[in-house]
Structure 1
Amino acid sequence: MATLLDRTAPRAPASEFPARLSLTPKSTLVGQLDGAWWPRSRDLDVELPPLVAALDEVWGRITRVTVNPTHWPVIPHKVPVSGHTVHVGWFTEQHPDKLILLSLTLGRWDLLVIPPETEPAATARLMAAAAIPGSVLTADMLMANEADISSGIRDARSREDTWETEGGACMAPFGHPIGQRALPAPGNTWR
């Protein structure tokens, strides 16, 4: 499937939409991730400037960003950010849900990238988990865990909907409705 971007369409200024971030508090504990980022789209030209501007204040000047091209339809080579340029690279070996930020003087930071279409409740869980100091959870583990949680929530809603549409019908041990013929007849005999 091809994705087309209209680069002539007017864009909102980057400062109008601040980056949605959750960062690990300063600590001596080193974890797999330094926080999470929830972009509003899959357009790096639009999404990187507010992210880098927010992190420049906290972590110092970001000079390079790497992504996995799986979730980004267009990867620019350079992105202008608040008076400097950030070089963007890509690596297929990097986890698709991780963004790596580099600074020449201060080091490297790894952020979980939460897909833009993610529900707010799932985003809150992922942002909180990615910002735990010293956590051994990787981007892959967090996304897999969230998929399991979301699947469980959908299954629970489905079971509740089934219960409601059946009028609270009797259920067999494995979740299948019990028809009247399956119920014991008076006198403890089966039909």
Structure 2
Amino acid sequence: MTAALQPPLPSHPLLRLRLAPRGGLPHHIDGAWWPHSYDLLAELPRLLAGLPRTWGHISSVTVNGATWSATPGRMLVFNQVVRLRRSTAASAPHTVCLLAPNRGRWDLLVVPPDTAQDTAEPLMAAAAGGDT
């Protein structure tokens, strides 16, 4: 099944994303994303739109299967197909993995949507600082 989505409207909540600086040593976590819900069909287009252009076209996204609401096997985001994979790995329950052909792989810490701001902000800062 493929879901077609339109670009988010300006009335949607702002993207909450912090990325680790590139260069130097590789990071275990490349940043943090704090979505507004567990609805991947609503949240993923905002995330992909906010990523650096140098990351290229994200063609595959792996999320924790137990965490996110039901998702199709692929979806159309900004006229490009993105394959969605669900992992059951207990080692990474709060991460999302983004793959771009010939560009790289990025792993983001996912801060649960219902996390209080005073708890979420230090988690995001630590992930962006490479301290995780």
Please give the range of the TM-score, normalised by the shorter of the 2 chains.
0.7 to 0.9
Partner of 2:3: none
**Structure 1 runs not aligned, ≥5 long:** 1-11, 138-191
* 1:27 positional shift: 2.1
Greater per-residue helix proportion: 1
Partner of 1:61: 57
Conserved? CA contact 1:56–1:62, under 8 Å: no
Cα deviation, 1:78-111, whole Å, max 9, x if unaligned, reads: 1221121111001101511000000011010000
Give SS of 1:71's match: coil
Cα deviation, 1:126-184, whole Å, max 9, x if unaligned, reads: 11000114x4x2xxxxxxxxxxxxxxxxxxxxxxxxxxxxxxxxxxxxxxxxxxxxxxx
Partner of 1:73: 69
Give SS of 1:96's match: coil
* 1:15 positional shift: 4.1
What is the number of equivalent residue pairs in this alignment?
125
Partner of 1:122: 119
* 1:73 positional shift: 2.2
Distance 1:15 1:30, change over 3 A: farther
Distance in 2 (CA, whole Å) between partners of 1:49 and 1:85 is 11
Partner of 2:48: 52
Instruction: Tell which has more relative contact order, 1 or 2 (C-alpha 8 A, sep 6+).
Output: 2
1:43 aligns with 2:17: no
Distance in 1 (CA, whole Å) between partners of 2:93 and 2:126 is 18
- What TM-score, normalized to structure 2? 0.86
User: Superposition RMSD on alpha carbons, in Å?
Assistant: 1.9
The higher radius of gyration belongs to 1
Identical-residue share of aligned pairs (%): 42
**Structure 2 runs not aligned, ≥5 long:** 1-5
Give SS of 1:61's match: coil
Distance in 1 (CA, whole Å) between partners of 2:9 and 2:107 is 23
